[in-house]
Amino acid sequence: MVKGTQAASVIEILRKIPKRIRSKVREVTLDMAANMGMIVSHCFPKASKVIDRFHVQKLAYDAVQEIRIQHRWRALDQENQAIEVARQSGVVYQPEILANGDTLKQLLVRSRYLLFKHYDKWTASQHHRSRLLFERYPLIEHAYKLATGLGTVFRACKSKEQAFKKLALWYNAVEDCGLDSFKTVARSIQTHYLDILNFFNNRSTNASAESFNAKIKAFRSSSRGVRDIPFFLFRLSKLYA
């Protein structure tokens, strides 16, 4: 653990470890932050960088949420306009109630969590809500399929070569979809694709470091009166003698 996440501070601490030992590190998992890549390059010269698949997938799911939120704001505007028209007409506004009991506004709000999950893990009520959502907003369905399609690449592909071909096909689908948020995701993947493909060497992830980080945060939050200090956490997957 090193206080803060500034590359210079972390590099200074890690270089206190003898270079002979640091050179034994063969693989480091990290996210797409530039400072993390700089730390690995300076301190572990023989290590390959592996961008955590979950950070890549999260970008895609965040893009889905951005589209959902855009539709939610439009629904709010439409509802406000309908309420004003009803008031001027001297009638009580009655929102449309969908088959599951949601209004359109509620549908868009309550769909947040199901859009972060693979459809195999949806509950019966989430399946029902998703059908209503996708019937009304096909653009959200298209975005969700792109996000889950990216996850399938990581789950199904067994080699870097296979994953490279699948990512290229996914990239083409993004180019054809016309969704700006996904084009940003695709450009980020294209920029870091070599480190992303390194995942398929050993299928390493940052899960253990993230789990440990969560435990530290829980401990800090339970310690009242203790100043909240950010720490840089990293995972070295293997040390070879």
pLDDT band for 207, please (50, 70, 90 cuts): confident
Q: What whole-number percentage of the chain has pLDDT above 90?
A: 77
The phi and psi torsions of 51 (rounded to 5 degrees) equal -75, 125
pLDDT over 50 at 134, yes or no: yes
Residue partners of 192: CB distance under 8 A and separation at least 6? 32, 51
Domain locations in the chain as residue ranges? 2-52+205-236, 56-194
pLDDT over 90 at 238, yes or no: no
Residue 98 buriedness (CB in 10 A; 0-12 / 13-18 / 19+): middle
pLDDT over 50 at 241, yes or no: no
| Average pLDDT taken over every residue of the chain | 89
The answer to whether the pTM exceeds 0.85 is no
Give the whole-angstrom CA distance, residue 197 versus residue 189: 10
Q: pLDDT tens-digit profile of 166-187?
A: 999 999 999 998 899 999 999 9
- What SS3 state is found at 153? helix
Give the whole-angstrom CA distance, residue 30 versus residue 12: 19
Q: What is the pLDDT of residue 240?
A: 46
Angle between helices 53-89 and 180-191 (to 10 degrees): 170
Mean pLDDT, range 106-129, rounded to an integer: 95
- Cα atoms in the Cβ-side hemisphere of radius 13 Å centred on 231: 15
pLDDT over 60 at 237, yes or no: no
Q: pLDDT tens-digit profile of 25-35?
A: 999 999 888 99
Q: pLDDT tens-digit profile of 77-102?
A: 999 999 999 999 999 999 999 999 99
Q: pLDDT tens-digit profile of 58-82?
A: 999 999 999 999 999 999 999 999 9
Mean pLDDT, range 131-151, rounded to an integer: 96
